[in-house]
Amino acid sequence: MAIGTTLTFVATLTGSLAAQQNPAKNPPTQTNPTVTGTTTKGADSETFVRTAAQADMAEVALGRLAQSKAQAPAVRDFAQRMIDDHSKNEQQLRDVAKNKSVTWPDQVSAHQHQTESTLSGLQGAAFDRAFMNAMVADHTSAVSEFQQATKSADPDVKAYASKTLPVLEEHLKMAKQVQKEVSSGAGGK
């Protein structure tokens, strides 16, 4: 997952699950918490690096979960892409963290752990829909956050964000397509 998206991910997932259980009582809600972009050096850069690190770790973990729980081949393929790309992103970010003497987080955030736990309780098509809904929300927010980070005064953060942004934009495009497939039942079995 990317910066500032955990709350959006959880809120979207929770809203999606509630709507699936009782659509009349629980209409879908849109949440989009605003997280300040990284535009200065120092603490903002450190926060960006740590949060991005946790996001990559969470994305890999959720990708692995989807590999084992997804029903649709398109979802499993997307999950593998998340594992591959976010593992690569994480390695590149480790170099930035090392250059900045930023302590690497040893676990995902509590919200990211909660998200994984929530998804773990789902199976089949319900898992596919919830996972892809969350991935669309996550990557929409991530693209926005990384666009802000490309304006950072910190040259290392700016370079990392500029290099990573196209990957996240591609993830968003793919996530929307797979979301559409699983929502229409065309994701395959």
Q: Residue 182's pLDDT is what?
A: 95
Confidence of residue 171 (pLDDT cuts 50, 70, 90): very high
Q: Residue 187's pLDDT is what?
A: 57
How many whole angstroms separate alpha carbon 63 and alpha carbon 57?
10
Residue partners of 77: CB distance under 8 A and separation at least 6: 178
With respect to residue 32, please indicate whether it lies within any of the assigned structural domains: no
Rg of the chain taking only CA atoms, in angstroms:
16
With respect to residue 60, please indicate whether it lies within any of the assigned structural domains: yes
* pLDDT over 80 at 178, yes or no: yes
* 69: containing domain: 6-22+39-184
List C-alpha distances in Å: 94 to 7, 10, 29, 114, 119. Answer: 24, 26, 36, 25, 27
With respect to residue 127, please indicate whether it lies within any of the assigned structural domains: yes
Q: How many Cβ atoms are within 10 Å of 118's Cβ, its own excluded?
A: 16
Confidence of residue 142 (pLDDT cuts 50, 70, 90): confident
With respect to residue 47, please indicate whether it lies within any of the assigned structural domains: yes
Residue from 141, 120, 122, 117 nearest 20 by CA: 122
Q: What is the mean pLDDT of residues 39-47?
A: 68
Give per-residue pLDDT as tens, 44-70: 889 999 989 988 998 999 999 999 999
With respect to residue 117, please indicate whether it lies within any of the assigned structural domains: yes
Confidence of residue 112 (pLDDT cuts 50, 70, 90): confident
Do residues 7 and 57 lie in contact, with contact meaning Cβ atoms separated by under 8 Å? no
Q: What is the mean pLDDT of residues 86-99?
A: 94
- Please write down the HEC assignment for all residues of the chain: CCCCCHHHHHHHHHHHHHHHHCCCCCCCCCCCCCCCCCCCCCHHHHHHHHHHHHHHHHHHHHHHHHHHHCCCHHHHHHHHHHHHHHHHHHHHHHHHHHHHCCCCCCCCCHHHHHHHHHHHCCCHHHHHHHHHHHHHHHHHHHHHHHHHHCCCCCHHHHHHHHHHHHHHHHHHHHHHHHHHHHHHCCCCC
CATH of the domain at 177: 1.20.1260.10
Q: How many Cβ atoms are within 10 Å of 183's Cβ, its own excluded?
A: 14
With respect to residue 1, please indicate whether it lies within any of the assigned structural domains: no
Q: How many domains does the chain have?
A: 1
With respect to residue 171, please indicate whether it lies within any of the assigned structural domains: yes
- Go through the chain and tell me how many residues it has: 189
With respect to residue 27, please indicate whether it lies within any of the assigned structural domains: no
Question: pTM for the full model?
Answer: 0.75
